[in-house]
Structure 1
Amino acid sequence: MYEDLTVFQKRHREKAAAMLAESFHTNPLFVYLFPDEKKRRKVLGNVYKGTVEIVSSVSDVYVTSDKVEGIFAVRRTDKASYSPALYKAIIKTGIRSILLIRDVPLIPFFKKAKKLSVVSQKMAIYKKQKPHLVIDMVAVDPACRGQKFMSRMIRAALKEADSKKTYCVLETETLENVRIYEHFGFQLSQKIEVIEGQLTVYVLIYDPFDQTSHLLNIY
């Protein structure tokens, strides 16, 4: 199912972090957390190195090739989500983040971050369902978009979902991405308004077997 992708290795980390930082630089979530563009670029470029490590400890991570035109992570909820590798990655990322945001006003930052807890609360409903797939990360280098790299990554996960007769969940922060995922067969399940008019999280489900109809349109 993932034969057309390359398993993420340590050698890919620098390229992946740089690509993710560029890809998500204007993402509403990070614009909300780090309004200053220069600080946001500096923080994302470094924090994503740790983010990839964290995701790798709980998910299978792939890149499109050694050139890292795109990166993709899929997690299976029937597998353990905690491990020594996860805690190690979290600690490393935490230390790196503290050093990077030392010139960011901390009280406003933590107040903003606290508001994001509503997303975790709303997402808890999916954890109670049968084992399924979660797409934890997917991004394509802005310079490589339109070359079907996104399609290769998403369709690999959907092929697994089809073969296991399960479903797949992901979240995004832009309506543009919602339309892209709907093209692949996802349906909008939740629209979580974190900050009115500024930050909305959209949760989508791919479920060709109609196992999650009760989870659709949970606003």
Structure 2
Amino acid sequence: MGVNVRPAETADIPALAEVLADAFEDDPLMVWILPDEESRRARLARLFAAEVRYHHLAGGGSEVAVDENGVIGGAALWDPPGRWKQSTWESVISFPAVVRALGTRMMVGAEVGGVLEKAHPQTPHWYLATIGTGAQARGGGYGKALLNSRLDRCDRDRIPAYLESSKKENIPYYNRFGFVVTDEIVIPDGGPTVYPMLREPK
């Protein structure tokens, strides 16, 4: 089965958000932010849809991996150098949608975002904010295709790439693409540990 990577479009947002919600339903950081199992997946889909619509699409780094029928199996949300942080305007227009997604966990989500922001490198880099593959597509090479698509550009442009892994077991996978753990970020009040990872251009 062939996997093709293409830029994400506005029309892709519902399917893209569902794929990422599927991928992150058991993610330790998302479980911490949204502990209610019954509502987590729907809330994650709303959250990813808001982030894509109001921030990531504008940067031109969002990509989807599709099968030969055009069905989205995976997605990667990249922010270009200097564009990883939401602008004030993006924060304002996305706020109602983010509130609908997080509900009473809004302050927890904001606290997590603040902790990650403080640890974020300030030197120019491509930021892999989110990457995920739906359950039906797992093991099909979707993640590899998505990573290589943007990392090839990083190498051509001689620009580092940065991500945060919220699953320790995913670290060896990212190591294979050249990412190296640079620190450990512990979310306060008993939250999980997140592993920032940097990749220098090859």
Query: Secondary structure in 1 aligned to 2:26?
Result: coil
Question: Which residue does the alignment assign to 1:216?
Answer: none
Query: Secondary structure in 2 aligned to 1:69?
Result: strand
- Inter-CA distance 120–144: structure 2 relative to 1 (3 Å threshold): same
Query: Secondary structure in 1 aligned to 2:187?
Result: strand
Question: Which residue does the alignment assign to 2:57?
Answer: 56
> For 2:165 and 2:50, how far apart are their aligned partners in 1?
20
1:157-179 CA-partner distances (Å, limit 9, x unpaired): 22112112221111110112211
Q: Gaps (5+ residues) in structure 1? A: 210-219
Q: Gaps (5+ residues) in structure 2? A: none
Question: Which residue does the alignment assign to 1:141?
Answer: 134
TM-score normalized by the length of structure 1: 0.78
1:85-116 CA-partner distances (Å, limit 9, x unpaired): x835x4443212334555x4x6xx52564255
How far apart are 1:33 and its partner, in Å?
1.3
Aligned partners of 1:50 and 1:92 also within 8 Å: no
Question: Which residue does the alignment assign to 2:18?
Answer: 18
> For 2:79 and 2:112, how far apart are their aligned partners in 1?
25
- Inter-CA distance 48–181: structure 2 relative to 1 (3 Å threshold): same
Question: Which residue does the alignment assign to 1:175?
Answer: 168
How far apart are 1:48 and its partner, in Å?
1.9
Percent sequence identity is 20
> For 2:28 and 2:75, how far apart are their aligned partners in 1?
20
Question: Which residue does the alignment assign to 2:89?
Answer: 87
Work out which of the two has the higher radius of gyration on C-alpha atoms and give 1 or 2. 1
Aligned partners of 1:62 and 1:73 also within 8 Å: yes
Spell out structure 1 runs of 4+ moving beyond 3 A.
Answer: 78-83, 90-93, 99-102, 195-198
- Inter-CA distance 197–100: structure 2 relative to 1 (3 Å threshold): closer
Map 1:23-102; keep pairs closer than 5 Å. 23-53=23-53, 54-65=55-66, 66-78=70-82, 87=89, 90-102=91-103
> For 1:47 and 1:200, how far apart are their aligned partners in 2?
21
Q: Alignment RMSD, CA only?
A: 2.5
Please point out which of 159, 177, 190 is paired with 1:184: 177
Aligned partners of 1:32 and 1:199 also within 8 Å: yes
- Inter-CA distance 177–99: structure 2 relative to 1 (3 Å threshold): same
Query: Secondary structure in 2 aligned to 1:42?
Result: helix
The alignment of Structure 1 onto Structure 2 pairs a total of residues equal to 195
> For 1:24 and 1:80, how far apart are their aligned partners in 2?
20
Aligned partners of 2:125 and 2:159 also within 8 Å: yes
Query: Secondary structure in 1 aligned to 2:72?
Result: coil
**Residue identity matched to 2:80:** R
**Residue identity matched to 2:29:** L
> For 2:113 and 2:180, how far apart are their aligned partners in 1?
23
How far apart are 1:207 and its partner, in Å?
1.3
